[in-house]
C-alpha cells in the first residue's frame, strides 16, 4: 500500500468526522443562537439564563446527531456515551460561560458578540474531547 493510501485510510475518517461535526455544529449553533437571542432580546431573559437554555437545546440535538451520524461507526453503550458527552458538555460549557461573562462584564464586549466568541471556543474544544473521549474507537 502506498503512502497516500495509508494517510487516506488513517486520516480520511477523521476528516469526514470533522466535516460532519462541523455541520452538526452549524445546526446546533443555529438552534442555540435562535433560542438564546430570542429569550435575551425578545423576552428580556438574562443573558446567563438565555445562554443556558440555548446550550441545553443544542446539547440534546448534538448528542443525537453525533451519536447517529458523525461517530456512527462506534456503537458502544449509549448510556456510557451520554454520560461522557454530558461531562464534556459540562466542562466546555462552564469554561465557555466563564469566557462570556469575562467578555461581557470585565472587558465590556457586546453580549451578542461575546456569545458568538464563546460558541467558537466551545465548538473547537468539544470536538477534540468528544473525538478522543466520548466516541473514541
Q: What is the pLDDT of residues 12-54, one digit of tens each?
A: 777 888 899 989 989 988 999 999 999 999 999 999 999 899 9
- H-type alpha helices, the chain: 3-37, 47-65, 78-101, 111-129
Q: What is the pLDDT of residue 39?
A: 96
Q: What is the pLDDT of residue 16?
A: 87
For the beta carbon of residue 94, count every other beta carbon within 10 angstroms: 10
Nearest-angstrom CA–CA distance, 67 and 112: 30
Q: What is the dihedral of CA 25, 26, 32, 34, to 10 degrees?
A: -170
Nearest-angstrom CA–CA distance, 46 and 57: 17
Amino acid at each position: 500500500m502506498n503512502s497516500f493510501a495509508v494517510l487516506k485510510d488513517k486520516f480520511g475518517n477523521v476528516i469526514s468526522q470533522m466535516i460532519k461535526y462541523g455541520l452538526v455544529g452549524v445546526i446546533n449553533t443555529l438552534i442555540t443562537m435562535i433560542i438564546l437571542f430570542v429569550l435575551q432580546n425578545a423576552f428580556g431573559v438574562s443573558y446567563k439564563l438565555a445562554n443556558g437554555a440555548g446550550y441545553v437545546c443544542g446539547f440534546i440535538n448534538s448528542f443525537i446527531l453525533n451519536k447517529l451520524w458523525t461517530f456512527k461507526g462506534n456503537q458502544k453503550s449509549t448510556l456510557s456515551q451520554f454520560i461522557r458527552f454530558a461531562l464534556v458538555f459540562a466542562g466546555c460549557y462552564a469554561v465557555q460561560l466563564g469566557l462570556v461573562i469575562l467578555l461581557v462584564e470585565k472587558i465590556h464586549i457586546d453580549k451578542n458578540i461575546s456569545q458568538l466568541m464563546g460558541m467558537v471556543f466551545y465548538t473547537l474544544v468539544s470536538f477534540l474531547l468528544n473525538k478522543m473521549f466520548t466516541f473514541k474507537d
